[in-house]
């Protein structure tokens, strides 16, 4: 089964129905919020800001793929696990690793280029590190360090922003956020 994200037109149709306030962030919601902000959609978080200021402009920056792990016990709800990494999160972790002197600027740049050139369903840290190591064997030590760094320090901008979206909605629901 393939799930397709809502198109800008589908989201816009909800915006014109004044019964709804739309908030987007973290992933494709951030992209839709950037596209539809002028129509009243609210964008939240760093991913939204990166789309809005033009630092990021491609859908594949937030795209990930999932594979089913199991079906719920007495339901038809399918549990899914992330199969690939979002490019925006890969860039973030490369940035953090460089900032903490785990990898050099060169390694950060090359690994990001390898990741970006990898079709998004196949973007995993192990794949990116392997391909980078094959093409640039002189970076093996730094790539090993980056791999170890990820075990305990891996972060997700998308996850941070999803939490911000939930907090924003909760605050709005409780009447603490301007409409």
- Rounded Cα distance between 106 and 159, Å, is 27
Please tell me whether residues 72 and 105 are part of one structural domain.
no
The yes-or-no verdict on residue 78 having pLDDT over 80 is no
Q: How many CB atoms lie within 10 A of CB 3?
A: 6
Residue 179 domain-assigned?
no
Q: Do the strands 42-44 and 23-25 form a parallel or antiparallel pair, or are they unpaired?
A: parallel
Please tell me whether residues 120 and 137 are part of one structural domain.
yes
The confidence score (pLDDT) of residue 10 equals: 87
Confidence of residue 118 (pLDDT cuts 50, 70, 90): very high
User: Model's pTM, two decimal places?
Assistant: 0.83
Q: How many CB atoms lie within 10 A of CB 96?
A: 17
Residue 114 domain-assigned?
yes
The confidence score (pLDDT) of residue 1 equals: 43
Confidence of residue 31 (pLDDT cuts 50, 70, 90): very high
Please tell me whether residues 66 and 111 are part of one structural domain.
no
Please tell me whether residues 70 and 115 are part of one structural domain.
no
User: Which residues constitute the domain of residue 137?
Assistant: 87-153
8 A C-beta contact, residue 96 and residue 153: yes
Query: Which one has a higher pLDDT value, 168 or 73?
Result: 168
Q: How many domains does the chain have?
A: 2
Mean pLDDT confidence for 158-179: 87
**Eight-class DSSP state of 5:** P
Cβ-based neighbours of 126, under 8 Å, separated by 6 or more: 147
Confidence of residue 12 (pLDDT cuts 50, 70, 90): confident
Please tell me whether residues 54 and 30 are part of one structural domain.
yes
Residue 65 domain-assigned?
yes
The confidence score (pLDDT) of residue 106 equals: 98
Sign of the torsion formed by the C-alpha atoms of 174, 175, 177 and 179: positive
Please tell me whether residues 91 and 65 are part of one structural domain.
no
Confidence of residue 25 (pLDDT cuts 50, 70, 90): very high
Confidence of residue 66 (pLDDT cuts 50, 70, 90): confident
Please tell me whether residues 77 and 91 are part of one structural domain.
no
Q: How many CB atoms lie within 10 A of CB 98?
A: 19
């Amino acid at each position: 089964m393939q799930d397709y994200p809502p198109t800008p037109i589908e989201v816009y149709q909800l915006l014109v129905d004044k019964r709804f306030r739309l908030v987007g962030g973290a992933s494709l919601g951030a992209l839709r919020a950037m596209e539809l902000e002028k129509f009243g959609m609210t964008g939240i978080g760093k991913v939204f800001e990166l789309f809005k200021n033009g630092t990021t402009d491609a859908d594949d920056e937030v795209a990930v793929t999932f594979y089913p792990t199991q079906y719920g016990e007495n339901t038809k709800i399918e549990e899914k696990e992330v199969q690939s990494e979002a490019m925006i999160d890969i860039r973030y972790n490369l940035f953090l690793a460089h900032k903490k002197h785990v990898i050099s600027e060169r390694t950060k740049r090359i690994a990001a280029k390898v990741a970006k050139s990898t079709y998004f369903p196949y973007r995993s840290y192990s794949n990116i590190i392997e391909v980078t190591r094959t093409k640039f064997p002189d970076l093996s030590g730094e790539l090993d360090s980056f791999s170890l760094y990820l075990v305990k320090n891996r972060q997700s901008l998308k996850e941070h922003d999803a939490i911000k979206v939930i907090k924003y909605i909760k605050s709005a629901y409780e009447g603490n956020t301007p409409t």
